[in-house]
């Protein structure tokens, strides 16, 4: 536990009904870090982010954000504290324009000038959104919709953003474009990021640390360069499943 961790998750357990889907998950996100949780479908990745963002009821464990215990707090309280959540599936309002989608969370704000500054800042990072300002959200490509939901999260001025499966269904080139922008947000704005990805393949290039989650437990964690293909594969699929002939490059 380091003082410069923006998020600390300790012994997180939760279930939907009787069966537990998280069995004591612990990790931390350093300030300005990009941490990636990877793991197969059903591992508990979305449940973990949902618990941190306040949408899932936690059975036990603690979630500390900037030194404050936020375990069990309401989603809007957590968001107001500076932690934004971008759920899986790119939930844009398809009949609202790009601009309306970005403004949707700001209507109650009284600092109208600051809203305009925040909007310009989002356009600095996502020039594609500015080009498509008046287009309906539903007419955007998958990559643009991903940028839109991240941009919308940034309108709340978060210090930590959780993003569930940003790469899903996007072409590799677009995935790189999204991650390049996230890297800029880290270095230029000091943003911290926790992302879920089903595949570790592309996120290895960007993450400070990879956390392999399977069956509701952390199987392996470490710097991407320190994780060998076989170790990673076994953590992801279970020990002894690595196929040397195919070099195990499937994770
Ligand atoms: N709302 C829910 N109700 C019941 N079971 C759920 C619900 N959400 C997820 N689960 C179950 O919890 C487990 C973990 O799911 P999830 O956190 O979505 O994993 P991942 O995001 O890694 O695919 C799975 O077995 C899934 O079926
Ligand atoms: Mg998921």
Atom number, ligand 1, closest to the C-alpha of residue 196: 21
Of residues 244 and 249, more confidently modeled = 244
Whether residue 249 has pLDDT greater than 70: no
**Across residues 8-21, what is the average pLDDT?**
95
Pocket test of ligand 1: the residue of 16, 19, 39, 198 to mutate, having most ligand atoms within 8 Å of its CB, is 16
Residue with tokens 């000091």: 190
Whether residue 248 has pLDDT greater than 60: no
- 3-state SS string over 51-119? HHHCCCCCCEEEEEECCEECCCCCHHHHHHCCEEEECCCCCCCCCCEHHHHHHHHHCCCCCHHHHHHHH
Least confident piece of the model among 20-29, 172-181, 233-242 = 233-242
Please give all residues whose CB falls under 5 A of ion ligand 2, grouped by chain where several chains appear: 45-46
Cα separation, 138 vs 98, in Å, equals 9
Q: What are phi and psi of 12, to 5 degrees?
A: -70, 125
Q: What are phi and psi of 124, to 5 degrees?
A: -60, -40
47 Cβ below 6 A of ligand 1: yes
Cα separation, 77 vs 92, in Å, equals 22
- As a whole number, the mean pLDDT across the chain is 94
pTM listed for this prediction: 0.95
- Under DSSP, is residue 246 helix (H, G, I), strand (E, B) or coil? helix
Domain 5-92+159-236 has CATH 3.30.360.10: no
Cα separation, 90 vs 153, in Å, equals 12
242: left (phi over 0), alpha (psi -120 to 50) or beta: beta
- Tens digit of pLDDT for each residue in 26-85? 999 999 999 999 999 999 999 999 999 999 999 999 999 999 999 999 999 999 999 999
190 Cβ below 6 A of ligand 1: no
Whether residue 113 has pLDDT greater than 70: yes
Atom number, ligand 1, closest to the C-alpha of residue 39: 22
Q: Report the Cα–Cα distance between both ends of the chain, in Å, rounded.
A: 29
- Tens digit of pLDDT for each residue in 100-109? 999 998 888 8
């Amino acid at each position: 536990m380091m003082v410069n961790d923006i998020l600390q998750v300790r012994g997180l357990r939760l279930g939907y009904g009787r069966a537990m889907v998280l069995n004591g998950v612990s990790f931390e996100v350093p300030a300005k870090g990009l941490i990636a949780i990877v793991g197969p479908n059903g591992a508990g990745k979305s449940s973990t982010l949902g618990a941190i963002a306040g949408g899932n009821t936690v059975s036990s464990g603690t979630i500390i954000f900037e030194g404050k215990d936020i375990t069990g707090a309401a989603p809007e309280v957590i968001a107001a504290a500076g932690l934004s959540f971008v759920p899986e599936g790119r939930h844009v309002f398809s009949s609202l324009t790009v601009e309306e989608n970005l403004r949707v969370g700001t209507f109650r704000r009284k600092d109208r000038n600051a809203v305009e500054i925040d909007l310009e800042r989002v356009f600095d990072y996502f020039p594609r959104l500015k080009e498509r300002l008046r287009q309906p959200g539903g007419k955007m490509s998958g990559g643009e919709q991903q940028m839109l939901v991240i941009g919308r999260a940034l309108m709340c001025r978060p210090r930590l953003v959780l993003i569930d499966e940003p790469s899903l269904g996007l072409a590799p080139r677009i995935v790189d474009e999204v991650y390049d922008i996230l890297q800029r947000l880290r270095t230029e704005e000091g943003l911290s990021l926790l992302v879920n990805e089903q595949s570790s393949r592309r996120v290895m290039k960007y993450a400070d640390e990879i956390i392999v989650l399977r069956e509701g437990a952390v199987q392996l964690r470490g710097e991407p360069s320190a994780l060998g293909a076989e170790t990673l594969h076994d953590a992801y699929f279970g020990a002894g499943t690595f196929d040397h002939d195919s070099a195990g490059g499937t994770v």
